[in-house]
Structure 1
Amino acid sequence: MKRKRSSTWYVVDGVCLTLDEIKILLSRVVDEQGKANEGDSISEIIDIYQNLPITCLDDLEKIETYLEDKNARNKFIDDLRRLGGSSYKECCRRFMKKMLSDDVAKLYSVHGHKGKRVFAKTMVFSTVIEALLICDKTTNAKNVEIVLGQWLAKATERIHKNENVAENWRKEGGPGGSSRQKDD
């Protein structure tokens, strides 16, 4: 009996692989490194990264649970650090853009001011601070907290800006075009 092959193929280092084959190879790597929890499946680990940036509170809960494991948290910190930046402020903005959508960010302030949720109580907060302190040895947690607070506070402003950009784009007829009609 022939096994039906998936129609989806991926090219990795010049080799064509199906998604099933990639999952098998990835699970071998995770097993060799010993970084997977007893209860974690490879698809759960992949799903964590597919949920970024976090767009709803349910996804935030999944990330929070994931970050409770020390090995997972350390890997996540390493991944964040790879985003880089020329200063701790830029790194912080890049990390947060990767982590949270503006729709979720607008629900939080660092300490819960103005009736918002307290971001400082989340594992995401402590993970971002830890990653930034590793990236930039010249800064401290208070400086990072200030930048995080500013980034969270501007979430609504970024949402409105993106809506205005999209509206202007639609009015102008999209890429390469104008909605204005030429007179003959």
Structure 2
Amino acid sequence: MTVSPSTRRTRSTIRAAFLLANVALVGVFIHQTMTTSIPTAGRAGLGEADGAVPDGVTVFDEKVPGVVNLDPELLGALRRAARAAAEDGVVFYVNSGWRSPAYQSQLLQEAISKYGSEREAARWVATPQNSPHVQGQAIDIGRSDATAWLAEHGAGYGLCQIYDNEPWHYELRPEAAEHGCPPRYADPTHDPRMQG
């Protein structure tokens, strides 16, 4: 069977787009691992009491402050969704949840050092005054199978991805169960809550 040149170009374009999307996704998950997997020690004495989450913690953990200090409605929605996801073999591991203002401030300073400016760091880390993590209203879910599950089913539980550049960051939007999740912001610098 002979394939026309236009069909070959179309297939080539689709393959290139697919490859580019996969490379971008890998980059995002590498960034997630580097910026949201937070060790429990080694950050100027800040640890679990300030919101650091050890590896292997799930949304059902009852002893880690990063989980139990989340807003009760957000935690309830996460646990309902996690029970449903478990039926599909998916576990909701927590990379980060509630954070103390001191911990958030330290993460921001690290991001400024890493990215070279406050403006660029703001694309990834909010100030302690504006961070929904400090308010207990945001969670960073670990592992791509869980974020993929939430992308498909999360709205039914009011759980919405907020930023395009952070597929692991979820917040509670109860109205999403009926109306779907609101449009995402490109990154936190486009979120009006982060201004000021």
TM normalised by structure 2 equals 0.23
Structure number with higher helix proportion: 1
TM normalised by structure 1 equals 0.24
Q: Which has the larger radius of gyration?
A: 1
